[in-house]
Amino acid sequence: MSAQPASLPPPSGSIRWRHAVATVVGPLADPQARRRLRLPSSSSRTLLLTAALSAWLLLEVIAAPLALAQLQVGALQCRLASGPWQPCRMEVQDIGLHWVLRVGDQRIEFRHGGDGSVRMQKGAGPWQPVTATWQPDTSLCWDGVCAKGDIPLD
């Protein structure tokens, strides 16, 4: 008989395995044993399970997306056209899809179309398509608007 890995149970025909299952499950099936062990009744277990499931859903379905929806802000250096490098902030609305650069009092918004296209809007101006290019100094530029530093890409 070959040795079983420790993480796998023995074959279902094993007497030791059946004994272990009966030892653990047996008291749970006996109402008097449940009372002696002070285990919750079926309706209490259902209520506890429902409460646990509701708490999990609250965290996974509601809280997690809200946490992701919060802005991720990164401090960078930016350059507009051929101007000097200056401190700026990148506010990530939806990583990889929607972000804003704040350079001084200017707000420059970017949206990625999901198909490789990126559009940029300076202030209240019109949206315009831009091309993203990496520069030799490791900055990322979008048609004259450049940022360098720890850019959150994904």
Mean pLDDT of the chain: 75
- Tell me, yes or no, whether 98 and 142 share the same domain: yes
Q: What is the pLDDT of residue 44?
A: 66
Distance (Å, rounded) from C-alpha 137 to C-alpha 31? 73
Confidence class for position 144, pLDDT limits 50, 70, 90: very high
- pTM for this one? 0.54
Distance (Å, rounded) from C-alpha 13 to C-alpha 44? 34
Domain that holds residue 45: 15-69
- Tell me, yes or no, whether 63 and 78 share the same domain: no
Contact 108, 100 (CB under 8 A): yes
- Look at the chain and report how many structural domains it folds into: 2
